Structure 1
């Protein structure tokens, strides 16, 4: 029997991606501290990315712009251009595909590559990594860090703990080095462990990744149940497998385009909404976005969910509820009726601060249930017509009159993921 060949997996990460793109487009800022901020016109805006020079002043992602400017008064602030960052990310994906057809997008700035079958063509893993770094830097101005290992989890760990810290931007973590290199690392450096989970592990007497890895899985599950409840077995196993560097999942190019389990949108309102008409405008806009996304992806939802958080922040009230519709749908008007039913059934009339709408229980949009009183054919034709106008001329090309009053459709049309395009 042939011996199983270890895979060679890369996790390629773009350094300070948004800031790197801006510096590449603005050569005059090459030697200046640069940050991309959510709203440069407000000191309360949040830092989305900071270049290495800015980080050397102590500027960090997710801090307020005001705090960043106190640390670095010379900081050059760039307004985010989300569509441009997406375009550059896709350019980088195409470069990766020159080396392997097994490329899986993990996030806008991180991608997995399986180069097992590329060694005979492009050379050893280090040569491939260096070639990728050079080509991406040359064509986009973005510096890539690459972690190399035998599975996706270890490649991700190799990038986060070592490749991001060394000068070459490349690090190889072999399976037989997990115990000597990974286990001595503090728990907080483990992928999937945030500050709260780190505190939980510390209270359990687990301070290093090795402390988790050496704990027998049944015992770790018992300790998780005692702390988090009966439903924590899966979480315990994920942590244990991560600590031991175990991951059987393949690099899957189609992951980004797999059938969605749900499609939803949520937004924090610019102010508290109190009047019924104001809230309904937002609910309708959110429903329209969700249904349009569903139609674009070719799916309908059986289950509608509505979530709401009401002010004040120090003692918020709210709810998250769902209901099953009679038939799957992605028609805005039909889904909106279910959304309104859910919302008014559970809203306590407190000022609304955050609101969300979601469709789940997705089925393919290749057939639909005809009803006696609704003209489904006409409704679907109208949806297709409005979608085509928006696809061609932009989301704000056609909006409902109610959105001109207290809606946010025009503002949201200028953004991607809550940030300006």
Structure 2
């Protein structure tokens, strides 16, 4: 890798949730451990499994009952999301001791641009080993490192090669693609899931090399025939991934300064009635409005979406509307969300529903309208925000959330749908 090329790393924490739990409980060191949704009920799915558990065939996202069938000795631990978030932020600080260009990709993966500091650490692999040692020593978590001249190569190097070798380090260069990445089946490519694999198979593209070596214009032509005239961008993105082409920078704070705020909720059962669904809409609008108030924004473009339980035969909709004035008041959002939902819902059962707000402006500067209640309601909601920030989300809730349809109390003890 020449000195003119960027040196990008994707550092991944192995079996992150399970590794954190094992690092804090030495007695579990030699035991198969999995973090799962609801150990008490013996239900839910596996969120993370340690390497020992994986050796029994336990996999992420499988049902807890299936995992226990494979490994009766499996130690099941309830997730502690706040702990994992805190540990992730601590690991970020470790990465920042090697470079100031650190971009979180997920709770357990982060991109590092070490181009400017690589000369201080003896080269890419030497630096990767030092990162692994420091993270392991301080947190007990083992990391794998993919290295490349851009983010796609680094991510690909980590997912397809570093995770599968003993050192947990792999450097993928463009000139190596033909003998490494291109030999893999198309379903191993970043951004390609089961459904897209099926599409590629029908297009006669079975390996990553098949896609990479097909001229871009031909890929676009095939995509248009299958997906329609607006598929050119998707075709080019996937073709560039297969060829290891990526010009995007590693950008610290890339997720700061939200341009939209949204919340999505997967429900514990199918919701059939408009009355029950409106309870969830109100809870979601309250979450969105509270987040907007916390960042000092009002929004005007409201989106509502819902989906049924059968993802192979999807039902539902996702639509947006422009409200008559910008707001971050729960009642305003809820009134408009109900209107939008009632216009689009086809009456089929709902298992997932979401609300988001965009079109932001500053909350301290807005045009008054006739019968404007934003200032009065804003003071009331600011008071409830302070209570929740101090005592927790469950300290005060709307009465309707105490009905059988309500989920606010359950979500109050969770982060991202999982226990804190």
Q: Give me the TM-score of the superposition, normalised by structure 1.
A: 0.94
1:366 is displaced (CA, Å) by: 4.3
What is aligned with 1:420? 419
d(CA) in 2 for partners of 1:247 and 1:25?
38
- Provide closer, same or farther for how the CA distance between residues 277 and 118 of structure 1 changes in structure 2, counting only shifts above 3 A: same
d(CA) in 2 for partners of 1:193 and 1:315?
19
What is aligned with 1:405? 403
Most deviating of 205-214 and 372-381? 372-381
What is aligned with 1:90? 89
Q: Give me the TM-score of the superposition, normalised by structure 2.
A: 0.94
What is aligned with 2:390? 392
Structure 2 counterpart SS, 1:117: coil
1:120 is displaced (CA, Å) by: 2.9
| Alpha carbons 2:156, 2:190 under 8 Å: kept | yes
- Provide closer, same or farther for how the CA distance between residues 228 and 169 of structure 1 changes in structure 2, counting only shifts above 3 A: same
d(CA) in 2 for partners of 1:294 and 1:389?
17
What is aligned with 2:325? 327
What is aligned with 1:149? 148
- The CA deviation string for residues 117-158 of structure 1, in whole angstroms up to 9 with x for no partner, is 112323212121111101101111100000111111100011
- Provide closer, same or farther for how the CA distance between residues 316 and 165 of structure 1 changes in structure 2, counting only shifts above 3 A: closer
d(CA) in 2 for partners of 1:4 and 1:139?
31
d(CA) in 1 for partners of 2:353 and 2:380?
27
1:48 is displaced (CA, Å) by: 0.6
What is aligned with 1:163? 162
Structure 2 counterpart SS, 1:324: strand
Query: Aligned-pair RMSD on alpha carbons?
Result: 2.1
d(CA) in 1 for partners of 2:350 and 2:175?
54
| Alpha carbons 2:17, 2:79 under 8 Å: kept | yes
Q: Does 1:118 align with 2:132?
A: no
1:234 is displaced (CA, Å) by: 0.7
Structure 2 counterpart SS, 1:69: helix
- The CA deviation string for residues 208-260 of structure 1, in whole angstroms up to 9 with x for no partner, is 21111111111110001111111111110011101111000010001121433
Structure 1 counterpart SS, 2:164: coil
d(CA) in 2 for partners of 1:164 and 1:158?
9
Structure 2 counterpart SS, 1:396: helix
- The CA deviation string for residues 10-55 of structure 1, in whole angstroms up to 9 with x for no partner, is 1000000011011111111110100011111233410111100011
What is aligned with 2:299? 301
What is aligned with 2:36? 37
Q: Does 1:225 align with 2:221?
A: no
d(CA) in 2 for partners of 1:250 and 1:316?
36
What is aligned with 1:383? 381
| Alpha carbons 1:8, 1:151 under 8 Å: kept | yes
What is aligned with 1:264? 262
d(CA) in 1 for partners of 2:192 and 2:346?
36
d(CA) in 1 for partners of 2:213 and 2:240?
11
| Alpha carbons 2:327, 2:374 under 8 Å: kept | no
Structure 1 counterpart SS, 2:165: coil
Aligned match for 1:340, one of 315, 318, 338: 338
Most deviating of 118-127 and 55-64? 118-127
1:6 is displaced (CA, Å) by: 0.4
- Provide closer, same or farther for how the CA distance between residues 166 and 312 of structure 1 changes in structure 2, counting only shifts above 3 A: closer
| Alpha carbons 1:266, 1:355 under 8 Å: kept | yes
| Alpha carbons 1:43, 1:64 under 8 Å: kept | no
Matches within 5 A, 1:307-322: 307-309=305-307, 318-322=316-320
| Alpha carbons 1:38, 1:48 under 8 Å: kept | yes
Structure 2 counterpart SS, 1:129: helix
| Alpha carbons 2:37, 2:43 under 8 Å: kept | no
Q: List runs of 5+ in structure 2 lacking aligned partners.
A: none
